[in-house]
Amino acid sequence: MSNQAKLEAHRRFWRGEGPSLILIPTAEMPLYDTEGYLDCFHNPRRMWEAEMRRARPVLDWPTDGIATVRPNLGVVFVPAIAGLGYALREGQMPWPGNPLSRESIRASAQADVSGAALMWLAAQFYEIHRQSGEGEVVVAYHPDTQGLFDIAHMLYGKDIFLAVADDPEWVHELMGISLDLYHRVSSHLKLLLGEPAGEMIHGHGTQQGVYFPRAGVRISEDAATLLSPGMIRTYLMPCLERAAASYGGCFVHYCGRHRAFFRELCRCPLVRAIDLGNSEMYDRRWLMEQCAETSTALYSRLAAVQGENWQDYARRLASLARETGARLILRPMVFPDNKAGCAAMRELWHELTC
C-alpha cells in the first residue's frame, strides 16, 4: 500500500469515514534503539542509519502506519536548547542535568534556537535523509519536543511541585517561558522539514506514523499527572491550548493514571487524539466513552487480557469501539509473528470497525 493510499485512508479516518486504523509492528522490539547510542547521538549519519533500519521493514508490511524516522535525541531536546545540561550513558536515552536558576531560565528567552547544538544535529539528520532519496517513502518527523509542563519541570526541577502551591506567579511566568521555547523550537523544526503549520505526520517515537490534517504538533505531559485537577486547569491547560492553537490542533501523550486529566484533554476542542503510556491503568470502556463523547481519537496501545490471542484481542476492542462509537488508532499489544498473519489481522480489524 503506497503512502498516498495510506494518506487518503487517514484523511477518511479523520472525517469519520471508514474503519479505525491499526499500526501493526513488524516485530517485537524495544521502543528505542539504544545500541551504540553514544556514538549515534553525536553522529547524525549513524543516527539516521540506525533509525532507517527500523523503518524500512514497514514499507511492505500490512499496516495502516506510514514509515517514519526522527533524530532520536531524547526528552532533553527543548530544555537543552534553553541551556539545560544533560548526561549521556551507553545504552540509555539522555538524562536531564541539574535544574537551572530562575535567572538562567528567564535568559532562555534569548536562546538561539536555530544555532543550538541539538538543533544542528536534527538539521543534519534531515539533510542526510533528504539527500538519501528515501524521503518520499519514509517520512521524517520531529524529535521529542515534550510538552509545556514537562519542559518547565526539566528546567526548574522538582521544586516546581512546591511552587505550584507556594509561588503561582512564578509558575505562570515559567509556563510562559516554556510555551515560548516550545513554539520557537516546533516552528523551526517545521521550517527544516518543509512541513505546513497545521498538519503533520508523526511517528510518536515509533517507526510507524499517522497523518494529522488538523494538528501540527505532539505534546507530551508525563509530569502533569502529579498535579491536581485544579492545578492542571490553572497552569497547564491554558498554555496547552495556546500551543495547539498555533498549529491548528495537537496530539497529546502522557504516562500514568489521571482520569481528570484525560477528561480535560477530551474536552479541549484542539486535542485531536490522546495516547496513553499506561492504558492498563484505565477501564477501556470508560476511555472509549470519553473519546466518543468529544470526537477525540484514542491513539494508543491497549492492554490485552491474559492469554488472549490476536483474534480475540481484535474482536474485543473492536466490539467496544462499536458499542461506544469511539474512533481508534490502535497500536496492538498482541499481534501475529508473521506477515500473512498480520495481513489477516489488519483485514479483520478493518472489517470489524468499518
User: What digits encode the pLDDT tens for the residues 235-277?
Assistant: 999 999 999 999 999 999 999 999 999 999 999 999 999 999 9
Q: What is the pTM of this model?
A: 0.96
3-class SS shares of the chain: helix, strand, coil, % to 5: 50, 15, 35
For 101, residues 6+ apart whose C-beta sits below 8 A from its C-beta are: none
What is the distance between the alpha carbons of residues 297 and 115, in angstroms, rounded to a whole number? 36
More confident residue, 323 or 35: 323
Under 8 Å between Cβ of 317 and 328: yes
Q: What is the pLDDT of residue 80?
A: 98
User: What digits encode the pLDDT tens for the residues 82-134?
Assistant: 999 999 998 899 999 999 999 999 999 899 999 999 999 999 999 999 999 99
43 dihedral zone (left: phi>0; alpha: psi -120 to 50; beta): beta
Q: What is the pLDDT of residue 62?
A: 98
What is the distance between the alpha carbons of residues 200 and 215, in angstroms, rounded to a whole number? 7
The helix or strand, by DSSP H or E, that contains position 276, with its residue range, turns out to be strand 271-276
What is the distance between the alpha carbons of residues 182 and 220, in angstroms, rounded to a whole number? 11
Q: Classify 3-353 by CATH class.
A: alpha beta
What is the distance between the alpha carbons of residues 262 and 269, in angstroms, rounded to a whole number? 13
Identify the three-state secondary structure at position 167.
Answer: coil
User: What digits encode the pLDDT tens for the residues 198-210?
Assistant: 999 999 989 999 9
Report which of 202, 303, 197 is spatially closest to residue 248, judged by C-alpha positions.
197
Q: Which residue has the cell 538519501?
A: 132
The proportion of the chain whose per-residue pLDDT surpasses 70, expressed as a percent, equals: 100
**Residue 31 scores a pLDDT above 90:** no
Average pLDDT of the chain, as a whole number: 97
What is the distance between the alpha carbons of residues 346 and 341, in angstroms, rounded to a whole number? 9
Q: What is the pLDDT of residue 241?
A: 98
8-12's contacts with Cβ under 8 Å and 24+ in sequence apart are 9/64, 10/64, 10/66, 10/210, 10/211, 10/213, 11/211, 11/213
Q: Once rounded to an integer, what is the mean pLDDT over residues 271-284?
A: 96
Q: What is the pLDDT of residue 29?
A: 85
Would you tell me how many other CB atoms lie within 10 Å of the CB of residue 11? 13
What is the distance between the alpha carbons of residues 75 and 224, in angstroms, rounded to a whole number? 15
Q: State the pLDDT confidence band at 218, using cuts at 50, 70 and 90.
A: very high
Q: Where are the domains of the chain?
A: 3-353
**Residue 1 scores a pLDDT above 90:** no
Hey, what's the cell of 85? 545540561
User: What digits encode the pLDDT tens for the residues 167-193?
Assistant: 999 999 999 999 999 999 999 999 999
